[in-house]
Amino acid sequence: MAPSRAGAGAVLPVVVALLLGVAATTGGARKMASHGEGANLKASPGAPAAGGSADQFRGKARLPSFAAPRRYELFLRPDLVACTFSGSVAISVAVSAPTRFLVLNALDLSVNRTSIRFQALEPTEVVFFKDDGVLVLGFAKQLPLGEGLLKMDFNGILNDQMRGFYRSKYQYKGKERNMAVTQFESVDARRCFPCWDEPAFKAKFKLTLEVPSELVALSNMPVGNATFAGPIKTVRYLESPPMSTYLVAIVVGLFEYVEGMTTKGTRVRVYTQIGKSNQGKFALDVGVKSLNLYKDYFDTPFPLPKLDMVAIPDFAAGAMENYGLVTYREVALLFDDKSSSASSRQSVAITVAHELAHQWFGNLVTMEWWTHLWLNEGFATWVSHLAVDSFFPQWNIWTQFLDSTTTALRLDSLEASHPIEVEIHHASEVDQIFDAISYDKGASVIRMLQSYLGAERFQKAMASYMKKYAFSNAKTEDLWAVLEKETGEPVKDLMTTWTKQKGYPVINAKIKGDDIEIEQAQFLLDGSSGSGMWIVPITSGCGAYDTQKKFLLKLKRDKMVIGSQCGDRKKGGNFWTKLNINGTGFYRVKYDDELAAALQNALETKKLSLMDKIGTVDDLYALSIARQQTFASLLRLLYGYRGEADYSVLSHINTVTTSIAKVSADATPALAGDIKQLLIKILLSPAEKLGWDPKKGESHLDVMLRPLLLTALVQLGHGKTINEGVRRFNIFTRDRGTSLLPPDTRKAAYLAVMQNVSSSNRSGYDALRKIYKESAEGEERLQVLGILSSCRDKGIVLESLNLIFTNEVRNQDAYILLRGIQPEAREISWNWLKENWERISRTFSGSLAANFVKNIVPLFTSNEKAAEISKFFATRTKPGFERTLKQSLETVRISARWAEGIRSEPGLSQTVRELLAKP
Residue 117 has what DSSP assignment? Answer: E
Query: H-helix or E-strand containing 294?
Result: helix 281-297
Residues 160, 166 contacting (CB under 8 angstroms): yes
CA 71 to chain centre: 32
Return phi, psi of residue 318, to 5°.
Answer: -80, -45
- Torsion 20-24-29-31 (CA) sign: positive
> Active site residue: 355, 368, 421, 486, which one?
355
- Angle between helix 373-391 and helix 342-357 axes, rounded to 10 deg: 130
CA distance 634 to 647: 20
CB-neighbour burial class of residue 692 (10 A; exposed 0-12, middle 13-18, buried 19+): buried
SS3 for 457-511, per residue?
A: HHHHHHHHHHHHCCCEEECHHHHHHHHHHHHCCCHHHHHHHHHCCCCCEEEEEEE
Under 8 Å CB-to-CB from 1, ≥6 apart: which residues? Answer: 185, 317, 318, 319, 320, 321, 355, 358, 377, 434
358 marked ligand binding residue = yes
Residue 205 dihedral angles phi and psi, to the nearest 5°: -125, 130
| CA-to-CA separations, 914 to 133, 381, 636, 658, 917, in angstroms, rounded | 63, 43, 10, 21, 5
Total Cβ atoms within 10 A of residue 165: 25
Structural contact between residues 360 and 257, judged by C-beta atoms closer than 8 angstroms:
no
Segments in 567-699 forming alpha helices (H): 593-604, 610-625, 631-639, 647-667, 669-690
DSSP 131-163: GGTEEEEE-SSPPPSEEEEEEEEEEEE-BSSSS
Judge whether 418 is annotated as a binding position. Answer: no
- Name which of 385, 363, 389 is nearest 376 in CA terms: 363
**Residue type for position 758:** S
For residue 777, indicate whether it is catalytic: no
CA 544 to chain centre: 37
Determine the Cα–Cα distance for residues 625 and 663; give it in Å rounded to an integer. 10
In the chain the first and final C-alpha atoms are separated, in Å, by 48
Tell me the C-alpha distance between 781 and 788, whole Å: 11
385 is in an annotated binding site: no
- How do 67-79 and 84-95 pair as beta strands? antiparallel
CA R_g for the chain: 28
CB-based contact 232:213 (threshold 8 Å): yes
Half-sphere exposure for 4 (CA within 13 Å, toward CB): 23
Nearest-10 crossing angle of helices 846-856, 882-903: 10
Return the SS3 of 873. Answer: helix
Please state whether beta strands 267-272 and 256-261 pair in parallel, antiparallel, or not at all (unpaired): antiparallel
Residues 6 or more apart whose Cβ sits within 8 Å of residue 479: 375, 465
Give CA–CA dist 92/203, Å, rounded. 9
Is the separation of the CB atoms in 679 and 661 below 8 Å?
yes
What is the rounded distance in angstroms from the CA atom of residue 664 to the CA atom of residue 347?
Answer: 32
d(CA 323, CA 305): 11
How far is Cα 320 from Cα 381, in angstroms, rounded to an integer?
13
Annotated catalytic sites, by residue? 355
Which segments are annotated as binding site? 354, 358, 377
Which segments are annotated as binding site for Zn(2+)? 354, 358, 377
